[in-house]
Amino acid sequence: MPEGIGYSSAQALSQSTVLPQNERMAEKAEAVRTRQGEAVAEIVGRQAQFSSSRAETLARQAEQLENRVETRNDQNGLGNRVNLVV
């Protein structure tokens, strides 16, 4: 009995309620960490998707530029391919 060793009944009661409060706080903290982790994962996923989309866009633009260069080279005619020496 706690009263027999120098504790009042109020102290004994409060000590018995401390453990569940600590457990509730730990559960709340874990829930907060879980939500934060999920939010970070979502942000990282969005950034990865953005980076992937950006890379695809840049690849398309590079291909378009290469096609333009090839088209211009084709329009130069035979002058660059035939050596006409008189």
Per-residue pLDDT tens for 46-58? 999 999 999 999 9
Cα dihedral 24, 28, 33, 39, rounded to 10, equals: 160
Q: Which residues of the chain have pLDDT under 50?
A: 1
Helices (H), 1-86: 9-75
* Contact between residue 9 and residue 3 where contact means Cβ atoms under 8 Å apart: yes
| pLDDT for 20 | 85
Domain boundaries, the chain: 2-76
| pLDDT for 57 | 97
